Amino acid sequence: MVVGCPGAEQITDADEAVAKVRRSIILQYTRQGRLTPAVRETLLSLTTSGELRDYAQQQDDLYLDKLPINGHLCMKMLKEIVAIGPRFSGSPGMQKQQEILEKYFANLGGKVQYQRFQARNPISKQGVETVNMANMIVHWHPERTRRILLCAHYDTRPFPDNDRDPDKRLGVFVGANDGGSGVAVLCALAEKMVKFDSDFGVDMVLFDGEELVYNSARDPFFLGSIHFAEEYAAKPPKQKYVAGILLDMVADADLQIYQEVNSRRMAPRIVQQVWATARRIGVQELRPNVRHEVRDDHLPLNEIAKIPTIDLIDFDYPSPQQRETYWHTTEDTVDKCSAISMAHVGWVVWEWLQGIE
Ligand SMILES: [Zn+2]
């Protein structure tokens, strides 16, 4: 703008705020592959933040209604789980979550089972030496002998120990994206399962104890997936898993899932299939390059159980462009999550499942 030129418009703070809202919506729509010329034109014509947000919300709802995986349901389940509060291993919140999910999956026709074990309590005090752990396993079509493993961890970290404010590190961690999102996507996929017409059966496994960790340098990670993998290796079942997908941190409103290093190394065919599926259906948030090397529940599955399993994870939370992370902080809450992100991830998994031979 030219200052002092007669008739030149003054750019006010309010204009700047509206422009910021507009930019962020345009950016998100571009990332999600939804910015049509008509939508763009409407966004440019709206003049207040309220109008922009209302229009985006309305467009989002219309879009969600058309997706094969129910993003509204993902968000509903995510909110319900997060509302429980902390769900770390052995906590009352974990037990509450188990009750909700057990009922949910059983209602849809899943056969729910717990794989129970005990772990050493990392902060053992007298009388509390061990923690009761339970992986939740939901079988769909248990008679099918070749099986697919869809999994996520359902425990939350005991404390938000990565919070940038040291005073909050002993505060409450509710784990919306980290702990909740994988579960929410599996809940939406569960709706599809009874009618899943395939030679393959699906087992959903919710791992306990992914991060019963008070001190990262001292306490072991992946207790549930290690236990599951060891049992599978020690007593190989008739029903074999041919492939697995782990879902972790998949709800970020700014979703960008890169290929993960260990997944590419240990299960390259599944990475290739899943990314080809995303490309085919136009889910652009799965980016065709490698970014992070993540240690997660897929390691024991590959290394101990020899089940080729990939990790779908967006470790940049919210985005690679921002240095601050919500990961393991009090900021990991539902408002940072998106129904569309979860529905997109579920949709890719669902399409991949249907194409498996
Ligand atoms: Zn975590």
In the prediction, which pLDDT does 4 show? 47
Q: What is the pLDDT of residues 253-290, one digit of tens each?
A: 999 999 999 999 999 999 999 999 999 999 999 999 99
Distance 177 CA to ligand 1 centre (A): 9
Centre of ligand 1 to C-alpha 211, Å, is 6
Report the percent of the chain where pLDDT is more than 70. Answer: 96
From 158, 323, 328, 324, select the one nearest 249 (Cα to Cα): 328
What's the CA-to-centroid distance between 235 and ligand 1, angstroms?
Answer: 30
Output the CA 55–ligand 1 centroid distance in Å: 34
Q: Is residue 184 pLDDT above 70, yes or no?
A: yes
| Residues surrounding ion ligand 1 at CB below 5 Å | 178, 211
315 alpha carbon – ligand 1 mean position (Å): 10
The pTM for the full model equals 0.94
User: What are the residues whose beta carbons fall under 8 Å from the beta carbon of 66, sequence distance 6 or more?
Assistant: none
C-alpha of residue 213 to centroid of ligand 1, in Å = 9
Q: Give DSSP secondary structure letters for 255-281.
A: --EEEPHHHHHH-HHHHHHHHHHHHHH
Taking the centre of ligand 1 as the mean of its atom positions, its distance from the CA of residue 125, in whole angstroms, is 24
Arch. (CATH architecture) of 71-355: 3-Layer(aba) Sandwich (3.40)
Contact 69, 188 (CB under 8 A): yes
**pLDDT averaged over the chain?**
94
pLDDT at 10: 66
Give 312: exposed, middle or buried? Use CB within 10 Å, 0-12, 13-18, 19+. Answer: buried
Whole-number Å distance between alpha carbons of 52 and 19:
10
Residue boundaries of the structural domains of the chain: 13-66, 71-355
Distance CA 339, CA 318 (A): 15
If you measure from the C-alpha of residue 314 to the centroid of ligand 1, how many angstroms do you get, rounded to a whole number? 12
pLDDT at 2 over 50: no
Output the CA 180–ligand 1 centroid distance in Å.
10
Pairing of strands 130-140, 200-207: antiparallel
User: 175 CA to middle of ligand 1, Å?
Assistant: 8
Distance 63 CA to ligand 1 centre (A): 30
CA–centroid distance, 176 to ligand 1, in Å, is 10
Tell me how far the alpha carbon of residue 178 lies from the centroid of ligand 1, in angstroms: 5
* Residues 74-125 pLDDT 10s: 999 999 999 999 999 999 999 999 999 999 999 999 999 999 999 998 887 6
Mind listing the pLDDT tens digit for each residue in 290-334?
A: 999 999 999 999 999 999 999 999 999 998 888 889 999 999 999
pLDDT at residue 150 in the model: 98
Ligand 1 centre to CA of 283 (Å) is: 25
Q: In b/e form, how buried is each residue of 182-218, taking b as 16+ CB within 10 angstroms? A: bbbbbbbbbebbeebeeebbbbbbbbbbbbbbeeeee
Determine the distance separating the centroid of ligand 1 and the alpha carbon of 249, expressed in angstroms.
9
